[in-house]
């Protein structure tokens, strides 16, 4: 009988889900996102309300994660709960976070804690937020407070979630608060976020020398619509360079590349300020050169014809489901950082309310992660976005990324098939033929083909 094929992940691989405070906790009324929602900026007119009610019941969702034998869980702290007024610290909020982190540890799940996931206190936003470099000191003071009071429960920190998305969505595209459309300001904000990361890195290392500290960027791929047209090739490369690589390079070296070099102050003391690379990956876009779009760097972006896609958003498109992209991104980050640090996939997920595309997508993306590992890339964990449906920023409740379905009105939970699949993978620390057969038989060849591919890459 032919032997069954299997993709085994390394011993000690971290398996879990990722989430963010404002999207899950509910009742966050002291940050800039709450105000943005009240001003009617959410496409469906909603406000996060109780979100997935984690402020009261995170533990029951942690139990569901434990049942999936997850050994890690990424969440974020809400700065506006810990410091609702400048310089005033709320010890009840701190206690609540201590309870959540203790609960995770009791369940043998390693907490990975993000210190800033898109939200900040109103008082901070009203002082100009990260547009003003003088405000970095407030962020670092909050970071010091959080680490001093939580370091017995957590040693894995992410300073910022996706500085590139925060800056572009809030200051260039105007979809996130503060709703600006200003390229120069976007770049300044990005620079200040990276500097704030550097300063937070030193503050955390001083308070907790054994901590693992990093940040995560969202990496998007941009491919030319007509690969033989130099203008499409150039426009796609420019998108990818600006969104991904220029930011990664600046964070690594402290220097911005031309022509940004002339516009932006270099970062101070940047090199070496990370213990790992956090990789968030969702999609790729096709690019056609378009001379009528100078503000978008001459790119018209769209989904590949006939691509398998996420559910369309109300406003934003969550785009193509493109598994090979995660492999390409891992390879590229590894190459560009000369393999200097381990990599964690800190987010990867799919908006798919009916869960008819997610099981296959999970299998195919993980097969690609496995392929990268086979080729020697030190990927140490995979955190799926997300455990339970949560409030999807400008899209509100219209986009559903959860392994577990949520009815926000009743707070009822209903695990999707993907939750069973993910649980089986985590339990086995592997993908088996039998799993693929049951959850997405149509993916059999792509899932195991990726392993064949890796074997030939390694032996070539």
Q: Report the interface residues with ligand BGC, using CB under 6 A.
A: 20, 23, 161-162, 165, 218, 280, 347, 385, 392, 401
Which of 224, 396 has the CB closer to ligand BGC? Answer: 396
Coil, helix or strand at residue 331: helix
Q: CB of 193: closest distance to ligand BGC in angstroms?
A: 14
Structural tokens at position 173: 């595209």
- Who contacts 64 (Cβ-Cβ below 8 Å, separation ≥6)? 387, 388, 404, 413, 415, 419
Angle, in degrees to the nearest 10, between helices 358-374 and 417-428: 20
- Who contacts 452 (Cβ-Cβ below 8 Å, separation ≥6)? none
Whether the CB-CB separation of 287 and 300 falls below 8 Å is answered with yes
CA dist 317 and 304 (Å) reads 12
Q: CB of 319: closest distance to ligand BGC in angstroms?
A: 10
CA dist 100 and 106 (Å) reads 10
Which of 303, 392 has the CB closer to ligand BGC? Answer: 392
Whether the CB-CB separation of 157 and 146 falls below 8 Å is answered with no
Coil, helix or strand at residue 343: strand
CA dist 416 and 361 (Å) reads 14
Chain centroid to Cα 334, Å, comes to: 18
Which of 289, 385 has the CB closer to ligand BGC? Answer: 385
Which of 75, 131 has the CB closer to ligand BGC? Answer: 75
Q: CB of 215: closest distance to ligand BGC in angstroms?
A: 12
H or E segment and range at residue 98: helix 91-106
Which of 392, 405 has the CB closer to ligand BGC? Answer: 392
Q: CB of 210: closest distance to ligand BGC in angstroms?
A: 27
Please state whether the peptide bond connecting residue 106 to the residue before it is cis, i.e. omega within 30 degrees of 0: no
Whether the CB-CB separation of 348 and 387 falls below 8 Å is answered with no
Which of 195, 346 has the CB closer to ligand BGC? Answer: 346
Q: CB of 349: closest distance to ligand BGC in angstroms?
A: 7
Which of 71, 280 has the CB closer to ligand BGC? Answer: 280
Which of 24, 440 has the CB closer to ligand BGC? Answer: 24
Coil, helix or strand at residue 419: helix
Q: CB of 130: closest distance to ligand BGC in angstroms?
A: 16
Backbone angles phi, psi at 423, to 5 degrees: -60, -45
Q: CB of 69: closest distance to ligand BGC in angstroms?
A: 24
Which of 17, 161 has the CB closer to ligand BGC? Answer: 161
Query: Dihedral through CA 449, CA 219, CA 159, CA 133, nearest 10?
Result: 170
Q: CB of 166: closest distance to ligand BGC in angstroms?
A: 9
Whether the CB-CB separation of 347 and 390 falls below 8 Å is answered with no
Nearest residue (beta carbon) to ligand BGC:
20
Q: CB of 401: closest distance to ligand BGC in angstroms?
A: 6
* Strand boundaries in 60-178, DSSP class E: 72-76, 110-116, 156-161
- Other residues' Cβ atoms within 10 Å of the Cβ of residue 18: 29
CA dist 122 and 457 (Å) reads 51
Which of 315, 342 has the CB closer to ligand BGC? Answer: 315
Which of 81, 371 has the CB closer to ligand BGC? Answer: 81
Q: CB of 220: closest distance to ligand BGC in angstroms?
A: 10
Q: CB of 398: closest distance to ligand BGC in angstroms?
A: 12
- Other residues' Cβ atoms within 10 Å of the Cβ of residue 388: 29
């Amino acid at each position: 009988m032919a032997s069954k094929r299997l993709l085994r992940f390394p011993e000690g691989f971290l398996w879990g889900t990722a989430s963010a405070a404002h999207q899950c906790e509910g009742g966050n009324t002291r940050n800039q996102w709450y105000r943005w929602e009240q001003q009617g900026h959410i496409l469906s007119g909603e406000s996060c309300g109780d979100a997935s009610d984690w402020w009261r019941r995170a533990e029951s969702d942690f139990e569901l994660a434990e049942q999936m034998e997850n050994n890690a869980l990424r969440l974020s702290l809400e700065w506006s709960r810990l410091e609702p007024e400048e310089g005033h610290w709320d010890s009840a909020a701190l206690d609540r976070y201590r309870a959540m982190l203790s609960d995770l540890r009791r369940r043998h799940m390693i907490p990975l804690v993000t210190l800033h996931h898109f939200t900040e206190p109103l008082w901070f936003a009203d002082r100009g937020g990260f547009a003003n470099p003088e405000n970095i000191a407030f962020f670092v003071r909050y970071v010091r407070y959080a680490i001093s009071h939580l370091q017995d429960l957590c040693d894995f920190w992410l300073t910022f979630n996706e500085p590139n998305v925060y800056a572009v969505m809030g200051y260039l595209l105007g979809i996130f608060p503060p709703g600006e459309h200003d390229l120069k300001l976007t770049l300044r904000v990005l620079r200040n976020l990276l500097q704030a990361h550097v300063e937070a890195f030193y503050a955390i290392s001083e308070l907790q020398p054994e901590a693992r500290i990093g940040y995560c960027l969202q990496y998007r791929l941009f491919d030319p619509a007509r690969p033989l047209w130099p203008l499409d090739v150039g426009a796609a490369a420019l998108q990818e360079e600006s969104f991904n690589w220029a930011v990664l390079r600046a964070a690594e070296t402290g220097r911005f590349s031309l022509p940004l070099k002339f516009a932006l102050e270099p970062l101070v003391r940047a090199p070496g300020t990370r213990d790992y690379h956090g990789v968030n990956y969702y999609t790729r876009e096709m690019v056609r050169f378009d001379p009528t779009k100078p503000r978008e760097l001459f790119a018209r972006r769209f989904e590949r014809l006939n691509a398998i896609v996420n559910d369309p958003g109300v406003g934003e498109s969550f785009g193509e489901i493109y598994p090979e992209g995660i492999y390409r991104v891992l390879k590229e980050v590894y190459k560009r950082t000369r393999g200097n640090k381990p990599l964690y996939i800190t987010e990867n997920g799919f908006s798919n309310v009916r869960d008819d595309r997610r099981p296959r997508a999970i299998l195919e993306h993980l097969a690609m992660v496995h392929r990268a590992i086979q080729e020697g890339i030190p990927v140490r964990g995979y955190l799926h976005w997300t455990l339970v449906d949560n409030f999807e920023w400008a899209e509100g409740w219209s986009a559903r990324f959860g392994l577990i379905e949520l009815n926000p009105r009743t707070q009822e939970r209903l695990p999707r098939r993907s939750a069973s699949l993910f649980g089986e993978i985590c339990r086995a620390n592997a993908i088996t033929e039998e799993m693929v057969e049951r959850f997405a038989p149509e993916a059999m060849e792509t899932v195991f083909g990726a392993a064949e591919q890796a074997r030939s890459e390694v032996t070539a």
